[in-house]
């Protein structure tokens, strides 16, 4: 689709440069996952498993008890699903409980919970109704509180954080009707005018936007003598003149989600509300998401726990051919997958969250892997639960209740979870984002070799640097502790997990070698090999999950809390994961990527239109992408602040 007149037209290279400039360039702290992709299995970075401080645990458990009581007595999930909106009194109750300020420091009126307990709270709320979890997560993980915590001035924190902690709901506005994961084409503008900026544009899929009081808005500031311009972040009062919520969007799942379309027409925003300098907006957004992404796997882990509970209860009472269906192998394998994967997801989540709280490690890759892996595996678990429930899994909870059976919302959970593979970076974008970080060390030393814009002298210098790096690095990928039978012996008890850690170590080196071979083979074309890069990342995700599962099992064993059972679950998960890893390694070099590209060209050129004959398209009329030309709104404002 061609760019609309008001929209920037950028080349692929320019778009990549914008994304690259927004990355955190350096690595000031160690990263377990980064080392894993480089073939260095640094178990010492995650084992022994880090633990929260006693006072953090006490404060977190006290709030969870209050939140659990509220969820059990004050939230009607069936009503939210039926009416497709969260009742005002439910949101008001969460405000009074302090749930809006879970991550906000106590000095601003928040609860000051750790990332670990914030995630536990989201898992709890999300298990009752995922739309509520999304509301709380969007408000605190990517809305006003987190960017101000990381990049705001003291005056901004003093002004906005007390409001966010108790009364005001916030939203994050980046996506536009014709701009998704390519922010270089951002069309919303903010033009400096004295002490203000004048904001114009349209934002799409504004989670919380329908009910929000405060907005974080990304807009393009033109370059001027007063500033360098670029994509910039602002805090905007949702009640400002010229702000119109033009539509409350409806989706296949998360029916209570307060998500809309917001138009800005000559909205005056004080320069004091700019977060960070001009041009820092994307960097602020990406940095905010480094830990903000952990909210999604929190709700995915919670969904896994619920799927396991329903699978256990249902398959123990449902009998076929003389025995409970759980003891039929075809069903039992699904139950084992749900149980083992739930254990691993919680392990990945808690490990990543505790590392975020300690701030000793750089967890940008770990958080991204947790989001990627959690969203993919939770969908698989929910799908398996629907299959286990059979026709009852496809039937709605309301229909089950109407004919006298337990109202189990299995189909709703499947619908609700599906968005997590798209939210806050789709699986495909996450593959590319993580792959970029995973090959950062290679690009740091050899990037100029494959950059067509570099001179011969720059390429020669890069070649010399690369030679030194690879002369030291490649020999270390030949052998390691994974080849020594007694390595990781502290994980050998009634169940032996040491064999899985040795496998992770060996596979880590194999993964690094595979990445190096691919870079040598494709060089500058490496970034176009998205199928290969996706498999590299998926292997890394499995290896990270296996590591986390083993470390968590050992922690529970030393604490005397279900240690034997934890070892069994970790063993089952690692065995299942190893099968997936071997398949992914095989598909690195034996796949259909080339023929797929040929078929795609044929589809788009019309070669296969004959295949589409014999059906009718029930889609309505209208453009594929709505017009987002700036200007005054002609539609009713459906903004609904909760007071």
Q: What angle do CA 37, 40, 43 make, to 5 degrees?
A: 110
Residues 521-532 as b/e (b if ≥16 CB within 10 A, e otherwise) read eeeeebbebebb
Say whether 424 is catalytic: yes
Helical (H) or strand (E) element with 320 = strand 319-320
| C-alpha separations of 330 from 337, 349, 394, 578 in Å | 11, 29, 19, 20
How is residue 486 written in tokens? Answer: 């007694």
- CB contact set of 25 (below 8 Å; sequence gap of 6+): none
Contact at 8 Å (CB) between 187 and 204?
no
- CB contact set of 558 (below 8 Å; sequence gap of 6+): 48
Residue tagged active-site, from 81, 346, 384, 424: 424
- Tally of CB atoms within 10 A around 560: 7
Closest CA to 110 of 71, 77, 74, 136: 136
DSSP string, 564-589: HHHHHHHHHHHHHHHHHHHHHHHHHH
Which neighbouring-strand residues pair with 206?
Answer: 260
* Bridging pattern class, strands 323-324 and 319-320: antiparallel
CA–CA dist 289, 293 (Å, integer): 5
Q: What share of the chain is helix, strand, coil (3-state, %, to 5)?
A: 60, 10, 30
CA–CA dist 498, 483 (Å, integer): 12
Long-range CB contacts for residues 563-566, cutoff 8 Å, separation at least 24: 564/494, 564/495, 566/343
How is residue 545 written in tokens? Answer: 């999950």
Cα dihedral 319→324→325→331 (10° resolution):
170
Closest CA to 103 of 86, 89, 120: 120
Q: H helices of 23-153, where? A: 32-37, 54-74, 77-83, 88-97, 115-128, 130-137, 145-151
User: Per residue, what are the HEC states of 55-75?
Assistant: HHHHHHHHHHHHHHHHHHHHC
- CB contact set of 190 (below 8 Å; sequence gap of 6+): 197, 198, 199, 219, 220, 221, 232, 234, 269
CA–CA dist 135, 132 (Å, integer): 5
CA–CA dist 295, 116 (Å, integer): 10
Q: What angle do CA 161, 280, 357 make, to 5 degrees?
A: 50
Residues recognised as catalytic: 424
């Amino acid at each position: 689709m061609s760019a609309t007149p008001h929209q920037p037209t950028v080349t692929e290279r320019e778009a990549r440069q914008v994304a690259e400039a927004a990355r955190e360039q350096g690595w000031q702290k160690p990263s377990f996952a980064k080392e894993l992709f480089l073939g260095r299995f640094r178990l010492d970075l995650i084992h022994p498993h880090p633990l929260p401080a006693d006072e953090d645990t006490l404060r977190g458990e006290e709030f969870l008890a209050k939140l659990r009581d509220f969820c059990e007595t004050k939230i009607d999930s069936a009503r939210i699903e039926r009416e497709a909106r969260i009742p005002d009194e439910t949101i008001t109750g969460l405000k009074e409980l302090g749930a809006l300020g879970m991550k906000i420091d106590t000095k601003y009126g928040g609860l000051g919970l750790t990332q670990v307990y914030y995630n536990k709270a989201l898992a709890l709320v999300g298990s009752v109704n995922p739309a509520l979890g999304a509301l709380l997560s969007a408000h605190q993980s990517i809305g006003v509180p987190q960017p101000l915590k990381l990049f705001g001035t003291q005056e901004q924190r003093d002004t906005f954080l007390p409001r966010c902690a108790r009364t005001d709901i916030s939203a994050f506005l980046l996506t536009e009707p014709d701009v998704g994961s390519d922010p270089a084409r951002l069309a919303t503008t903010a033009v400096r005018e004295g002490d203000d900026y004048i904001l114009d544009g349209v934002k799409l899929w504004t989670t919380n936007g329908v009910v929000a009081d405060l907005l974080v808005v990304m807009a393009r500031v033109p370059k001027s003598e007063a500033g360098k311009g670029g994509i910039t972040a602002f805090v905007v009062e949702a009640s400002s003149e010229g702000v119109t919520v033009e539509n409350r969007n409806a989706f296949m799942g998360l029916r209570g989600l307060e998500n809309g379309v917001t138009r800005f027409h000559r909205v005056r925003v004080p320069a004091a509300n700019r977060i960070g300098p001009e041009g820092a907006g994307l960097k602020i957004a990406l940095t905010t998401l480094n830990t903000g992404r952990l909210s999604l796997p929190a709700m995915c882990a919670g969904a896994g726990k619920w799927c396991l509970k329903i699978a256990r209860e249902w398959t123990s009472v449902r009998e076929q051919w003389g025995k409970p269906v759980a003891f039929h192998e075809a069903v039992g394998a699904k139950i084992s997958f749900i149980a083992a994967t739930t254990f691993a997801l919680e392990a990945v989540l808690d490990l990543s969250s505790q590392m975020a709280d300690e701030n000793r490690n750089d967890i940008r890759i770990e958080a991204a892997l947790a989001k990627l892996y959690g969203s993919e595996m939770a969908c698989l678990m929910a799908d398996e639960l629907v299959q286990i429930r059979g026709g009852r899994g496809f039937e709605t909870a309301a229909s089950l209740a109407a004919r006298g059976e337990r109202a189990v919302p299995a189909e709703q959970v499947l619908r609700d979870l599906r968005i997590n593979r798209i939210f806050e970076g789709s699986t495909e974008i996450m593959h590319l984002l993580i792959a970029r970080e995973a090959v950062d060390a290679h690009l740091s030393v050899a990037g100029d070799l494959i950059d067509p814009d570099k001179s011969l002298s720059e390429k020669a210098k890069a070649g010399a640097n690369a030679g030194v790096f690879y002369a030291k690095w490649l020999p270390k990928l030949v052998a390691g502790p994974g080849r020594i039978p007694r390595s990781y012996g502290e994980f050998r008890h009634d169940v032996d997990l040491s064999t899985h850690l040795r496998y992770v170590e060996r596979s880590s080196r194999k993964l690094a070698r595979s990445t190096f071979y691919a870079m040598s083979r494709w060089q500058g074309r490496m970034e176009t090999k998205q199928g290969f890069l996706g498999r590299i990342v998926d292997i890394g995700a499995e290896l990270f999950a296996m590591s986390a599962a083993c470390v968590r099992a050992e922690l529970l064993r030393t604490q005397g809390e279900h240690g034997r059972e934890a070892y069994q679950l970790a063993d089952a998960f690692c065995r299942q994961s190893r099968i997936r890893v071997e398949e992914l390694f095989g598909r690195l070099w034996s796949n259909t990527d080339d023929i797929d590209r040929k078929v795609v060209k044929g589809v788009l050129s019309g070669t296969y239109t004959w295949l589409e004959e014999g059906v009718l398209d029930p889609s309505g009329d209208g453009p594929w992408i709505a017009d987002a030309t700036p200007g005054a709104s002609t539609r009713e404002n459906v903004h609904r602040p909760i007071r």
